[in-house]
Structure 1
Amino acid sequence: MNYTYLLINIAVIFFPLVLSFDKKVHFFSKWKFIFPAILLTGIVFLIWDILFTKLNVWSFNPDYLVGINLLGLPLEEILFFLTVPYACVFIYECLNAYFPKNHLQKYSLALSNLFLGISIAILFFGYNRWYTLINFGFLLIVLAYVEYVNVKLRFMYRFYRAYLVSLIPFYIVNGFLTAIPVVMYNNKENIGFRVGTIPFEDHFYLMSLLLMNVFLYELFKSRAGKNQA
């Protein structure tokens, strides 16, 4: 069906958008921070996406697309960088509002070090594959910067909790996209290991996408708070 990918995008953002007016979370009042974060992150990931499409790292099945292309990408793929980050940051804010106590706080640095170590190890063995190289290289840079350079803005313990919860819809949405398949991967450009039909790298692609969005979101909130003070 030509509307498959578009309907998946709509399904991803529908409930987070409707529930943005929840009285406790008040997510709509933070749109002035989230949309700039999504825009800036989206530009980076769209450049990445365009490059990978041209290099045949992945491709899109026209049977499940409406047929509108921009910058060499299907419209639905561009919308993906709006719907998924919005939904994931919404999850992040809901968890912060309803569950302010977070037991991951004392483990966040250890988790960051673990993921940095994983990134380095996989880069050592998979540096000759485009998806593996760019994916883990980007995560290594962003994670190291957020954890060790940007020391005044501390949110990683909240980020890891949101990431773990976001994996639930990730398996549903990405499962559909890779099983149908809407998105087709060239296994010569990844390590070839999959969780079901989902490439292993996709888990860390989600981490990078969510981390950059949350970092910019928290940065913009912090600057607004300082200006008001």
Structure 2
Amino acid sequence: MEFKNFSYLLLLIGPLIIPIVFGFKKQIGFLSNLKYLIPAILFTGAIFIIWDLRFEERAIWRFNSDFVIGKNILTLPFEEWLYFLTIPFLGVFIYELLKQRFYDFERPNSFLVLSLILFVLFGILAFSTRQKLYPFFTFFLLSIYLGYTIFRNPFKKHYTKFYLTYLIMLLPFIFIGGIISALPIIEYNPEHIIGIRLLSIPVENFISLFLLLLMNITIYEFLKERRIY
């Protein structure tokens, strides 16, 4: 096994360092909320893993064996499973930090309008890309879930911190995703992506990140606010 086989794994370990190191601080108290975060990660991760497995079976993407350690769970590399742990873990940590540091900064009405615009836009994009499976399912699922948060879920009061979290998460995501796409660790079937890339990253991945964070944070807030256990 060569050093390059650890590329994907090393990229995913990095996002865990900050929340683990700073999460122990009492003034942040992040680790005390793990009982709400872990179920959110597991539930959301299960949906994304099923999606991942089906798309790999249909050859919509494939993993380059040169950049993974070679340990698979089902047919997915171990690192791919880890991705759905590390990215949400860092995202929710940033989200909680923003809630504490900028408690009074809220623009719920502005971000509700933005969400309504995105809801319509994602629905239109889903219809217009229905011949390409990756963008179609990404836009379709996001439009449904975003619509749910707008019309049925009280999460809209947290939109301000969510959108700020997404913007901040773009920094590590662009770094990690850029390397993943440039090496490439993951190769995409050109017949099933739009073909627009930002810094070598397919534009669909940015939308997928939005959905991943939105699902994790809404479920996390649902469990936390209701103190179910």
Measured against the shorter chain, the TM-score band is over 0.9
Q: Which residue in the other structure is 1:126 paired with?
A: 129
**Are the structure 2 counterparts of residues 31 and 69 from structure 1 closer, same or farther at C-alpha, using a change threshold of 3 Å?**
same
Aligned-partner SS, 1:3: helix
Moved more, 124-133 or 211-220: 124-133
8 Å contact 1:24–1:97 — kept in the other structure? no
Cα displacement (A) at 1:152: 6.9
Structure 1 segments unaligned to the other structure (5+ residues): none
**Are the structure 2 counterparts of residues 87 and 133 from structure 1 closer, same or farther at C-alpha, using a change threshold of 3 Å?**
same
- Equivalenced residue count is 226
CA distance in structure 2 between the partners assigned to 1:70 and 1:190 by the alignment:
25
Q: Which residue in the other structure is 2:39 paired with?
A: 36
Cα displacement (A) at 1:120: 1.7
Aligned-partner SS, 2:187: strand
Cα displacement (A) at 1:23: 2.5
CA distance in structure 1 between the partners assigned to 2:215 and 2:105 by the alignment:
21
CA distance in structure 1 between the partners assigned to 2:95 and 2:174 by the alignment:
17
8 Å contact 2:155–2:218 — kept in the other structure? no
Cα displacement (A) at 1:42: 0.5
Is residue 72 of structure 1 aligned with residue 69 of structure 2? Answer: no
Is residue 101 of structure 1 aligned with residue 101 of structure 2? Answer: no
Aligned-partner SS, 2:157: coil
Cα displacement (A) at 1:13: 1.0
**Aligned residues: CA RMSD:** 1.4
Alignment map for 1:129-144 (pairs within 5 Å): 129-144=132-147
Q: Which residue in the other structure is 1:172 paired with?
A: 175
Q: Which residue in the other structure is 2:207 paired with?
A: 204
CA distance in structure 1 between the partners assigned to 2:108 and 2:50 by the alignment:
34
Structure 2 segments unaligned to the other structure (5+ residues): none
8 Å contact 2:45–2:85 — kept in the other structure? yes
Cα displacement (A) at 1:97: 1.0
2:57 is aligned with what amino acid? K
- Aligned identity (percent) is 38
Aligned-partner SS, 1:21: coil
CA distance in structure 2 between the partners assigned to 1:199 and 1:88 by the alignment:
20
TM value normalised by structure 2: 0.94
8 Å contact 1:104–1:161 — kept in the other structure? no
Cα displacement (A) at 1:11: 0.9
Aligned-partner SS, 2:154: coil
Cα displacement (A) at 1:157: 2.0
String of CA shifts for 1:16-37, please: whole Å, max 9, x gaps. Answer: 2111112221100100000010
Aligned-partner SS, 2:23: helix
Is residue 111 of structure 1 aligned with residue 114 of structure 2? Answer: yes
Q: Which residue in the other structure is 1:150 paired with?
A: 153
Alignment map for 1:11-26 (pairs within 5 Å): 11-26=14-29
Is residue 4 of structure 1 aligned with residue 3 of structure 2? Answer: no
